[in-house]
Amino acid sequence: MKFFLDSAKVDEIRYAREMWAIDGVTSNPRHIKTSGKPFLAAVEDLATLGREFGEDFAISVEVNPHHTTAEAMVEEGERIWNMCPTNFVVKLPCTEAGYKALQIFGEKDIPCNMTLCFSAVQALQAGRLGARFISPFIGWKEANGEEVEHFIEEIVTIYDNFDFATEILVAAVRNGRQIAEAAAAGADIVTAGFDVYKESFEHPYTPVGLKRFADAWDATPYK
């Protein structure tokens, strides 16, 4: 199971790499905005981190969400990808134009992450067309009152049935419970924000237990 960080902030990514051994980064236009930098400067920072962390560290960068044609997505996506071809993955929406762009990127051997996936059939299409990652957004579906466990299990079954190499990157993850459920359902990767990981790796009982054990330790002669 791989953990990606949903962020474009250099300090968060460095911390998460050093402390939690995260395996990659997913950025989107909202994360780039939160980084406080212009688009190209933020993407250049991500490229620098990618070169530093090695080629296994996948970094998704999304094309301009205003694009409505595959040609525009490919033109921009290729320019972005060329800023760090060893690490960058072009993020495209699960739309008709996005799927067409995915096919063109496939001919160029440029890896893509299909984002904003809300149905198993969208994931099926991404798998058929050779996406590197599919990003089902479970947090948004759950907030909309939809169930998500069966959603991920269904994508896992479909990908197993047809031997797709596309990795299932569960996105918009809001808490540790969802991380565990994605892992149990057979997802390959989760991506979550800094605070979600920070809270998930702790539990209120752990410090309570440590205090109990520390009291016992103090009340016991060492020799």
Q: Are 37 and 45 in contact (CB under 8 A)?
A: yes
| Region at 39 (left for phi over 0; alpha for psi -120 to 50; beta for the rest) | alpha
For the bound state, the minimum distance from the C-beta of residue 218 to ligand E4P, rounded and expressed in Å, comes to 44
Nearer to ligand E4P, 87 or 115 (CB): 115
**Choice from 3, 5, 6, 88 touching ligand E4P (CB under 6 A):** 6
* Residues taking part in catalysis: 91
Smallest Cα–Cα separation from 73: which of 119, 35, 113? 113
Each residue 29-58 as x (binds ligand E4P by CB under 6 A) or -, in order, gives: -x----------------------------
Measured between alpha carbons, how far is residue 103 from residues 8, 65, 107, 129, 136 in Å? 27, 18, 7, 6, 19
Residue number, 26 or 200, with CB nearest to ligand E4P: 26
User: HSE (CB half, 13 Å, CA atoms) of 192?
Assistant: 26
Longest distance between any two alpha carbons in the chain, whole Å: 75
Note whether 129 and 99 are within 8 A (CB): yes
Residues of this chain, 80-139, that bind ligand E4P according to CB under 6 A:
115, 135, 139
Q: From the list 8, 73, 171, 185, which residue makes contact with ligand E4P (rule: CB under 6 A)? A: 171
Confirm or reject binding of residue 142 to ligand E4P (CB under 6 A). no
Q: Least CB distance from residue 81 to ligand E4P, whole Å?
A: 16
Q: Which is nearer to ligand E4P, 6 or 12 (CB)?
A: 6
Cβ proximity to ligand E4P, 89 vs 161, nearer residue: 89
